[in-house]
Structure 1
Amino acid sequence: MIRNSARLVAAIALALVFSPVYPAFAQDQTPTSPAPVPAPRATSAPAFPAPDPADFTADTPSKDVVNAFMQANLGFDANAMWQVQAIQKTPITGISKVIVFVGDKTAKQQPYRFAFFTSPDQKHIIVGDRVVPFGTRPFAEYRALLQQRADGPFRGSPSKDLELVEFADFQCPHCKEAQANMEKLVADFPKARIVFQNDPLASIHPQSVTAAAYGVCVAKLAGSTAFFQFAAAVFEGQDGLATADGATLTLNSAATKAGLDPAKISACATSPETKAAVESSVQLSKDLDISSVPTLVINGRQVPANAPYETLKQIIEFQAKMDNVTP
């Protein structure tokens, strides 16, 4: 299901931008954006053509801002290379078209042309059907939003200096796969705050909302430790969520394994307060423009939670350094 695996690392770094690769790691309920136009496969580090000064007709954004944006997204990979090729005016006042050539110093990835439009406020870019944060610190706004509103059960540090927020759906098979990564992150980043946020995709996973409600109640009645015991049991028995009756058995069993009375959890799961809590978590996902699960948000930066682990680790360490945080 991976589409053009040669662009894998870059796609993880700009997961929302390069969405043609993202669904290979995620459960998506929206159409994908058009793919960047690939250049012929290189056999050595690409030599980009010299930019034409005539292609720099817009006052904003500056080349420095574009380079800072690319560094924020691709700087975790020492082999990534890029060149700002054009910053052009468009017929719409305040909207500029930017073209960047992206490649790989080792020639293991196919170089490509990355084009986007900047919004008049210079805080966002438009790529295909996506609106993505832009600027020299593109993830700061989402980071602040999560620090205020990510209220799910967590492991690790109470500090939010390095906050890793997993948005997941209990019925999503990709989310189940991501749990191996999440366990490794808990071990490798003890100073991080690692949060679970419910993001059930009810349109394709009918039992995921009920599972999320059970999880809210487990955390409410017994705390984070019990929740993660419950979550592990649900993911392990995920096949049981295929039907309503199977979901009841699976969720009650998971609650029991977490040391709780399943009758109490079931009653709690139907309450208006629990429904509101699930809806609030889903709304947070929407406010972050998350359309696929599992998504891991690293101090505001979104990546697939079940991407290759070493790449995830590399991105977390890089983002922590960008934010002056000790990982």
Structure 2
Amino acid sequence: MIRNAARLAAVITLAMLFSPIHHAIAQEQTPATPAPAPAAPEAKAPVFPPPDPADFNATSPTKEVVNAFMQANLGFDANAMWQVQAIQKTQLAGISKVIVFIGDKTGKQQPYRFAFFTTPDQKHIIVGEKIVPFGDRPFAENRSTLQERANGPYRGSATKDLELVEFADFQCPHCKAAQANMEKLLTDFPKARIVFQNDPLVSIHPQSLTAAEYGTCVAKLAGSTTFFQFASAVFDGQDGLATADGATLTLNSAATKAGLDPAKVSACAALPETRTAVESSIQLSKDLDIATVPTLVINGREVPANAPYETLKQIIEYQSKLDGIAQ
């Protein structure tokens, strides 16, 4: 589910996996290999036009930094290819325009033109309406933020070397579907710390805030293991969250299944400090500019948590390698 009523694309393309840029990227067709004749339908890698040296008139960012940024984002895919086409001055001091052509070595994906503006601090870029972390280690700052502030219930490692933070809404159908991925990740990455952060989209899911408050209290009263038992029961009974009365029955039932007294959980959920805790988690999501649920943040790198599992696994393995984490 995407904030502001936008829809998550059904098919995760290469551009959409270019996290976190997949929320904002505008694809434009690039000059590529001329269309093959009907008698030769075999797909081939695109041939990008040679860059014009005159289009590299800005002193920053350097071509090396842009390539490192692209490598950090797309390097998980052995078939990804790109070419830095221009790094140009603009009429605003300190702001450069960068153009990169992106394609697929197999020729199966349509190549596209990716353009963005770098900010004067060289730590961010502007893509459409989004401000995105930039640099040769673009996810480092968000990783530090999460290590400091992602305090939700977790499974797996007590250390935060490999931290997978799921931002989810109990009433979101896509979040329910993503739980199968989360269970597989727990098995395949035993050294990872897998954290659940409440991110209820109340404007779309009116009962999601109450569900988040219940979940916060379950974790507070009985710890992470019990929380995930509760969460599983809530997702299983998600249809019951459609109304206020149904939500009460569903959440109380989930608390009982997790071995807790639903009256105690309900009383805790009504406390002001519980709402404050949920709002803190929502603020963390906003500070990271997370636009969708479910989102999985892998050491600071955002990807859709309901992406194809093998792709998620590939990205986690690649990010682990970038961060020097032994599997």
Please tell me the TM-score bracket, short chain as reference: over 0.9
Counterpart for residue 18 of structure 1: 22
Separation (CA, whole Å) in 2 of partners of 1:39 and 1:239: 45
> Deviation of residue 34 (structure 1)?
6.1
Counterpart for residue 161 of structure 1: 161
Counterpart for residue 96 of structure 2: 96
Counterpart for residue 299 of structure 1: 299
Counterpart for residue 13 of structure 2: 8
What is the identity, as a one-letter code, of the residue corresponding to 1:8?
A: T
Query: How is 1:137-286 mapped onto 2 (pairs within 5 angstroms)?
Result: 137-286=137-286
User: Identity of counterpart residues, as a percentage?
Assistant: 75
Separation (CA, whole Å) in 1 of partners of 2:227 and 2:116: 41
Match of 1:35 among 13, 26, 33: 26
Q: Deviations over 1:114-149 (max 9, x none)?
A: 000000000000000000000000000000000000
Give the secondary-structure state (helix, strand or coil) at the position aligned to 1:84: strand
Separation (CA, whole Å) in 2 of partners of 1:223 and 1:215: 10
Q: Deviations over 1:6-28 (max 9, x none)?
A: x713321x233232xxxxxxxxx
| Larger CA deviation: 35-44 vs 137-146 | 35-44
Q: Deviations over 1:142-193 (max 9, x none)?
A: 0000000000000000010000000000001110010000000001000000
Counterpart for residue 72 of structure 1: 72
Unaligned 5+ runs, structure 1: 20-32
Separation (CA, whole Å) in 2 of partners of 1:4 and 1:40: 27
The ranges of structure 1 where at least 4 consecutive aligned residues each deviate by more than 6 angstroms after the TM superposition are none
> Deviation of residue 35 (structure 1)?
2.3
1:315–1:283: structure 2 CA closer, same or farther, 3 Å change rule?
Answer: same
Give the secondary-structure state (helix, strand or coil) at the position aligned to 1:254: helix
Contact 1:161-1:325 within 8 A present in 2 as well: yes
Contact 1:202-1:208 within 8 A present in 2 as well: yes
Give the secondary-structure state (helix, strand or coil) at the position aligned to 1:18: helix
> Deviation of residue 3 (structure 1)?
4.9
Contact 1:234-1:250 within 8 A present in 2 as well: yes
